[in-house]
Amino acid sequence: MSEVTEQDVLEALKHVVDEEKGQDVVGLGMISSVVVKNGNVGFAIEVDAEAGEAKEPLRKACEEAIESLPGVLSVTVVLTAHREKPQQAPPTRPSTGKENVSGIRSIVAVASGKGGVGKSTTAVNIALSMAAAGRQVGVLDADIYGPSIPRLLGIKGRPDATGDRRLKPMENHGVRCMSMGFLVAEDTPMIWRGPMVQSALEQMLRDVDWGELDVLVVDMPPGTGDAQLTMAQKVPLTGAVIVSTPQDIALSDARKGLNMFRQVDVPVFGIVENMSYYNCPNCGHRAEIFGHGGARATAHRLGTKFLGEIPLHIGIRETSDEGKPIVVSVPRGEHAAAYLRISDRIAAKIDELTDDESHAPPRIVID
Ligand code: ADP
């Protein structure tokens, strides 16, 4: 069978018409970021931000047009917007809500009020700690603004498709991983808005053959806007963890994150303080550069748990950059121990919630 090419994809899409505009999607210049690799096809459809979910049927039509091409093993189509969406309430959708994903026992979101606080580094090290404790773990990189999990886990290449047109997660250091970074070219500037993010995330969650997982760790996009709220609403999250640095400003952002999850009834397991303090490698002096302890105080004030602190340490950055995070590269070190303590606390919370549910009668949820 001949390999499907980008040209084949574009030819097929010329037959898909945007009813509203009366022209085909290629002619309208709506298709971008086409990636074709070994029969796996991914691309984005650019729509007006305000069009939102109204374009879901168009997305489906594009997906079906490509699925029927010979040689295509999987198709991932996402809606994306380049224009700002006017301020409005988060979308509501006549969906069945948060359906559980079969085989996945629990899903934990790792979130932060803003970027650069070490959310992805923390998410990966927590996932690896849970795997070290004998759990089956997956990481879903939902940080569509800057998907960094493949780099942190030292994973290159693209996922293969399964026989039933789902994607196989990639794997390294004993954890499975799926990332937007596998599907969309890294240099594609894209502004994702709430309703559009949803299709990407749901595909990564449901169209991926995760197998049996005890925990799926979701690395959320930083911030507390519409995109994050939609994700928190649509994914059946068992709970969320907020990563913060000790600075006050980051903490006020963390507070927003906490409120966001509470708004959508997702339990917040607690706050992790990252870059909490600095142990001078020369003299051993402990310097609290950012005024250590803020997260503990905030957690207390907001009625959530303080899950632990991670120091600012060059080894944490270097090992991450090398694709061998500190929990796997120095598993007996003090930093790995700090991540293990935090992940144990999270695991205990998960067990508490999932055990409760397995013993309780089935709940009837009315949206
Ligand atoms: P975010 O996901 O919040 O944007 P990242 O996890 O990408 O943040 O971290 C931002 C940068 O800070 C990266 O270079 C990372 O290696 C570094 N970093 C994160 N946590 C620590 C830490 N505890 N000590 C040293 N460097 C860290």
Instruction: Give the residues surrounding ligand 1 with Cβ less than 6 Å away.
Output: 112, 115-121, 148, 222, 274-275, 310, 312-313, 316-317, 320
Residues 6+ apart with CB under 8 A from 36: 4, 5, 6, 9, 42
Q: What is the pTM of this model?
A: 0.73
For residue 236 the two structure tokens come to 């059946």
pLDDT in tens, 319-364: 999 999 999 999 999 999 999 999 999 999 999 888 644 444 444 5
Tell the residue nearest (CA) to atom 6 of ligand 1.
118
Please tell me the distance between residue 197's alpha carbon and the centre of ligand 1 in angstroms: 24
Please tell me the distance between residue 313's alpha carbon and the centre of ligand 1 in angstroms: 10
Among 297, 342, 298, 286, smallest CA distance to 123 is for 342
Tell the residue nearest (CA) to atom 20 of ligand 1.
118
Please tell me the distance between residue 134's alpha carbon and the centre of ligand 1 in angstroms: 26
pLDDT score recorded for residue 9: 94
Identify residue 172 by its one-letter amino acid code: N
pLDDT score recorded for residue 25: 92
Site to probe by mutation for ligand 1, drawn from 121, 245, 275 as the one with most ligand atoms within 8 Å of Cβ, is 121
Residues 6+ apart with CB under 8 A from 103: 210, 211, 212, 213
Residue 27, strand partner residues: none
pLDDT score recorded for residue 36: 81
Tell the residue nearest (CA) to atom 26 of ligand 1.
317
Please tell me the distance between residue 295's alpha carbon and the centre of ligand 1 in angstroms: 17
pLDDT score recorded for residue 85: 38
CA gap 70, 77 in Å, rounded: 18
pLDDT beneath 70, residues of the chain: 1, 52, 81-99, 183-198, 248-250, 279-281, 284, 286-293, 355-367
**Alpha helix (H) ranges present in the chain?**
6-13, 56-67, 119-132, 149-152, 180-183, 194-206, 226-234, 248-263, 294-301, 314-321, 326-329, 334-359
Site to probe by mutation for ligand 1, drawn from 275, 317, 318, 326 as the one with most ligand atoms within 8 Å of Cβ, is 317
Tell the residue nearest (CA) to atom 24 of ligand 1.
312
pLDDT score recorded for residue 298: 78
Rg (C-alpha) for the chain, rounded Å, is: 21
pLDDT score recorded for residue 267: 93
Site to probe by mutation for ligand 1, drawn from 320, 329, 342 as the one with most ligand atoms within 8 Å of Cβ, is 320
Q: CB of 120 within 8 A of CB of 152?
A: yes
Please tell me the distance between residue 116's alpha carbon and the centre of ligand 1 in angstroms: 6
Among 270, 300, 264, 248, smallest CA distance to 117 is for 248
Please tell me the distance between residue 118's alpha carbon and the centre of ligand 1 in angstroms: 4
Please tell me the distance between residue 113's alpha carbon and the centre of ligand 1 in angstroms: 14
Listing DSSP states for 120-137 in one string gives HHHHHHHHHHHHHTT--E
pLDDT in tens, 243-262: 988 876 567 777 888 888 98
Ligand 1 atom closest to the CA of 122, numbered from 1:
6
Identify residue 35 by its one-letter amino acid code: V
Ligand 1 atom closest to the CA of 123, numbered from 1:
6
For tokens 């907001």, name the residue.
302
Ligand 1 atom closest to the CA of 124, numbered from 1:
6
Tell the residue nearest (CA) to atom 5 of ligand 1.
118
